[in-house]
Amino acid sequence: MEVRSRLNGLASVPRSVWILGCVSLFMDVSSEIVHSLLPMFMMVGLGASAATIGLIEGIAEATAPIVKVFSGALSDHLGIRKWLAVAGYALGALSKPLFAIAPTIDVVVSARIIDRVGKGIRGAPRDALVADVTPVHLRGAAFGLRQSLDSIGAFLGPLLAVVIMSLWADNFRLAFWLAVIPGLLAVALLAFGIREPSREPGARRMNPVSLDNLRNLGSSYWWVVVIGAGFALARFSEAFLVLRAMGSGVPVALVPLLLVAMNIVYALSAYPFGKLADTMNPVKLLIAGLVVLIASDVVLAHGAHWSVVLLGVALWGLHMGMTQGLLATMVSHTAPAQLRGTAFGFFNLFSGTVTLASSVIAGELWDKLGAAATFHAGAAFSLATIALLLSGKAPHGRP
């Protein structure tokens, strides 16, 4: 009965959400082939330090949210979400060859920023489109499903990276070239597979980022933004998971397997926890997710053997599955329908800006005090975020 109920729940999710999830799957295969190898490529191939890698990753991850503000607002203003998302996915796919030809760190930085600009262009319109096509009582399930499909791509990407590196003698550049293919498939599927809902008759264009409209987002929405920033501070770039795996005795070609394990856990947990958020107070789930993140940080801080690192990375993936779709659901529930693109944009702007700071802090701690200090800091920030959630001011996240 439980399996039948779950299948019925999946069947009730709109077709467009499934397609958007498959688009995310293909693009994540493309991106994760690159991202699972890039920290090692920068350190081993180009001589970058952990602090440099942290700065690059922080800048890259902050770029996308800044762009999301403008793309989300533009999608609200024009009433067009699909083609903005297509443009973002196309830019992401076309950035991959730059990694393959990069002779210096400067070119890697440029490619990383272009890739994240593409993510920024597509992110807020895509998330707003998910909310637009999904009934309110199914949004947790819809965001969880999209996140699960996204995560399937996130573990297939590192798995393919392992295969490529094993068959072609640690050829980073060939792996980056091959990453272009699934990226282009994502663009084609979105362009030809989805019809955007019609704009409501009589709807007028407006400036979504006007002061009045920002006020109209409401205090519940802005509290979700604060919560998201707390999570971003506690969870720095996954590049540091790759660096931790490098020090666990695993051969370079097999390091991406740890990210495969993380994303398998992520994919399996995102939909069930997203559906659970439709029926219970999501704040409790957020706190539980932070407790799991603390456990991951403690394990990664105190164990260097590959089996211990694997456990820590799996706990990290469980935390992601419990919280990422849930935060998106809370944004969709607390923001007015006509301002959803703008709402997702500002949410990601604040989260991305904090991610830049947390990744820089993580890199500096790694170089000066060692890996354990980085993960201890992550646990401390997680405790601070739990205190924020327990303050009693957080909204339930459901209308």
Please report, for the chain, the start and end positions of each structural domain, with discontinuous segments joined by +: 13-193+212-389
Predicted pLDDT of residue 2: 45
Q: How far apart are CA 152 and CA 148, in angstroms?
A: 6
- Higher local confidence (pLDDT), 148 or 72: 148
CA trace torsion 201, 206, 210, 214 (10° rounding): 20
Q: How far apart are CA 344 and CA 361, in angstroms?
A: 26
Q: How far apart are CA 263 and CA 259, in angstroms?
A: 6
pLDDT band (50, 70, 90) for residue 199: low
Predicted pLDDT of residue 174: 92
Predicted pLDDT of residue 7: 47
pLDDT band (50, 70, 90) for residue 309: confident
Please classify residue 5 by burial: count the beta carbons closer than 10 Å to its beta carbon, then call 0-12 exposed, 13-18 middle and 19+ buried: exposed
pLDDT at 182 over 80: yes
pLDDT at 89 over 90: yes
Out of 30-44, 100-114, 336-350, which region has the weakest mean confidence (pLDDT)? 336-350
Mean pLDDT of the chain: 82
Kindly report whether the global pTM for this prediction surpasses the value 0.75.
no
Out of 37-51, 63-77, 289-303, which region has the weakest mean confidence (pLDDT)? 63-77
When pLDDT is averaged across residues 348-375 and rounded to a whole number, the result is 86
- Higher local confidence (pLDDT), 76 or 392: 76
When pLDDT is averaged across residues 61-85 and rounded to a whole number, the result is 77
Q: CATH fold of 13-193+212-389, please?
A: Growth Hormone; Chain: A; (1.20.1250)
Helices marked H in the chain — which ranges?
2-12, 15-35, 38-40, 50-78, 82-101, 105-133, 139-167, 172-178, 180-193, 211-216, 218-234, 239-246, 256-276, 282-302, 306-334, 340-369, 371-389
**Backbone angles phi and psi of 36, in degrees to 5:** -70, -20
Predicted pLDDT of residue 212: 63
When pLDDT is averaged across residues 360-389 and rounded to a whole number, the result is 90
- Tokens read off for 331: 């944004």
Task: Give percent above pLDDT 70 in the chain.
Answer: 90
CA trace torsion 123, 127, 128, 133 (10° rounding): 140
Q: Which of 42, 39, 251, 263 is nearest to 166 (CA)?
A: 251
pLDDT band (50, 70, 90) for residue 374: very high
- Angle (CA) 289-359-107 rounded to 5° is 130
- Tokens read off for 55: 């700065």
Give the model confidence (pLDDT) of 314-357 as tens digits. Answer: 999 999 888 877 887 888 888 787 777 778 778 878 887 888 78
**Backbone angles phi and psi of 293, in degrees to 5:** -65, -40
pLDDT at 209 over 70: no
Predicted pLDDT of residue 155: 77
Task: Give percent above pLDDT 90 in the chain.
Answer: 22
Predicted pLDDT of residue 81: 83
Q: Which of 313, 184, 159, 303 is nearest to 239 (CA)?
A: 313
Instruction: Give 265's Cβ-side CA count (13 Å radius).
Output: 19
Q: How far apart are CA 397 and CA 323, in angstroms?
A: 13
- For the chain, report the end-to-end CA distance as a whole number of angstroms: 29
């994240």: which residue's tokens? 116
When pLDDT is averaged across residues 127-153 and rounded to a whole number, the result is 81
pLDDT band (50, 70, 90) for residue 392: low
Residue 168 is classified by DSSP as T
pLDDT at 213 over 70: no
pLDDT band (50, 70, 90) for residue 22: very high
Predicted pLDDT of residue 135: 82
Predicted pLDDT of residue 343: 81
CA trace torsion 184, 348, 293, 289 (10° rounding): -100
Q: What are the b/e assignments for 180-195, b being 16+ CB within 10 Å?
A: bebbbbbbebbeeebe
Q: Say which amino acid occupies 127.
A: D
pLDDT at 5 over 70: no
